[in-house]
Amino acid sequence: MAPKTPERTTQTTKVELPKWVDKASLQNYRMAKRIGSKDFKPYTKDRVADLDPMVGDAFDYLNQSQATTAGRFNDAASMFNDAAGTKIAMGQLKDTDLNPYMSPYIQNVEDKALAALDDTRQQALMGNQDAAASAKAFGSSRHGIVDAVTNAESAKDAGLLSAQLRADAFGNAQQAAMQDIQGRYTADVGNRDAMFGAASGITSLGSAEADAAMKNFAAQMQGGMMKTGQRQKELDALRAKWNEKKGYDAERLNLRLSALGMSPYGKTENTERVTHPASSGTDWAQAGLGIFSMLMGLSDDDTKTDKEKVGKVPGTDLDLWAYRYKKDPKTYPKVVGIMASDVQKKIPGAVTEIDGKRIVDYTKILESL
């Protein structure tokens, strides 16, 4: 049995929008064209705030403080090196000239002591004479022996006395010299310790000055950056105000487009279809072409929801979509149209960006057919 020949019918869909929609769309198109034809006017005022002078002053202060601190540390290091390099040794008595320590009066003392000893000798001799006279031996050999013994003993005592006096003077000179040697050594050690102490003091002072300088620098920097930040806020506010004024027309256009898209309106359809037995439904491509040929509208992808691909725009490779705008209630009928991202890839000249949203000029799409 031969297969049945598919039934064929012809369907033509004609979509007629209300006149007020046509009028509003035309007005929107003219408004978009006027906005798009405006010359670019760049923002010419300052965008970034200059650093407040306090910031520069803070760095100048820090540099000066560092120079001062570095000078102190250098002085301290030099003193440490000098002190560490100082060699101190105890003087030796054997290497010391004792003459300056000998009493200048030792000779006078010795002379007087010897003179007194000689007086004693003279008295002893006189006593010998008296004794010899009494014994009737004056001038005898016995008398001479006694005087010789007296003189010998006196000379011996004079020698011992002179030696004792000079020994005492030498001992005193040694003692004085040792005291000087010990004193010089103690003074040298004290001077070296004082140098170490002074170097440590300068180092501590430099560290304290460096800490204070960093605190002052931080405070001054914070003040300068706060002033700079305030100035930046003022500049940002001026630019935001300029952007508001610049984008006012685009906002008005977007409001009109959004209002048009959200407004429910009916449509009339006369249908004549070409189908096979297995096909049914609306020919969205033909329906979309009727709308899209009359409007210039907001076609940015992120303004739409409930998107459903329904076919291709006749004569193009553009996908045709049924969708609602995100602000539309779910009860509104879907709108048929295209996505700005698809048009931008295939017909870039038909897409204009206004205030960050992509607008499709449908007339340019028609011109490319």
Total domain count, the chain: 2
Is the same domain home to 148 and 286?
no
Per-residue confidence in pLDDT tens, the chain, 369 aa? 444 444 555 555 555 667 787 788 888 888 888 888 888 888 899 999 999 999 999 999 999 999 999 998 999 899 889 888 888 877 787 777 777 776 665 666 667 767 776 777 777 777 767 676 776 666 666 666 766 777 777 777 667 766 777 777 777 878 887 888 888 888 888 898 898 899 899 999 989 999 999 999 999 999 999 999 999 999 999 999 998 888 888 888 887 777 776 665 555 555 444 444 444 444 444 444 444 444 445 567 778 888 888 888 777 788 888 888 887 778 777 877 888 888 888 888 888 887 777 887 777 777 776
Please state, in angstroms and rounded to a whole number, the distance separating the CA atoms of residues 26 and 43: 32
Q: Calculate the alpha carbon distances from 260 to 15, 307, 353, 364, 365 in Å.
A: 17, 19, 19, 21, 21
Q: Phi-psi bin for 83: left (phi > 0), alpha (psi -120 to 50), beta? A: alpha
Do 187 and 326 belong together in one domain? no
**Chosen domain end from 197, 224, 243:** 243
For residue 236, the enclosing domain spans: 53-243
5 part of a folded domain = no
Residue 241 tokens read as 């105000």
Rounded Cα distance between 297 and 256, Å, is 10
Are residues 180 and 232 located together in one domain of the fold? yes
Domain assignment present for 6? no
Residue 15 pLDDT: 57
In a domain, 314, yes or no: yes
Distance CA 148, CA 136 (A): 18
CA torsion angle 280 284 287 288 (round to 10): 180
210 and 156 fall within a common domain: yes
| 4 assigned to some structural domain | no
Do 231 and 319 lie in one domain? The reply is no
Residues 181 and 130 in one domain: yes
Residue 1 lies in a domain: no
Q: Is residue 114 located within the same domain as residue 206?
A: yes
Residues 232 and 355 in one domain: no
- Three-class SS of the chain: CCCCCCCCECCCCEEECCHHHHHHHHHHHHHHHHHHCCCCCCCCCCCCCCCCHHHHHHHHHHHHHHHHHHHHHHHHHHHHHHHHHCCCCCCCHHHCCCHHHCCCCHHHHHHHHHHHHHHHHHHHHHHHHHHHHHCCCCCCHHHHHHHHHHHHHHHHHHHHHHHHHHHHHHHHHHHHHHHHHHHHHHHHHHHHHHHHHHHHHHHHHHHHHHHHHHHHHHHHHHHHHHHHHHHHHHHHHHHHHHHHHHCHHHHHHHHHHHHHHHCCCCCEEECCCCECCCCCCCCHHHHHHHHHCCCEEECCHHHEEEEEEEEECCCCCCEEEEEEECCCCCCCCCEEECCHHHHHHHCHHHEEEECCEEEEEHHHHHHHC
Q: Are residues 237 and 264 in the same domain?
A: no
Q: Classify residue 80: in a domain, yes or no.
A: yes
**Phi, psi dihedral angles at 311 (to 5 degrees):** 150, -160
Final residue of a structural domain among 243, 268, 302 = 243
Co-location of 263 and 285 in the same domain: yes
Give the domain-ending residue among 214, 243, 272. Answer: 243
The per-residue pLDDT for 278 is: 41
Q: Are residues 122 and 60 in the same domain?
A: yes
One domain, residues 237 and 323:
no
Residue 2 maps to a domain: no
SS3 string, 226-265, reads HHHHHHHHHHHHHHHHHHHHHCHHHHHHHHHHHHHHHCCC
Task: State which amino acid sits at residue 115.
Answer: A
| 7, part of any domain | no
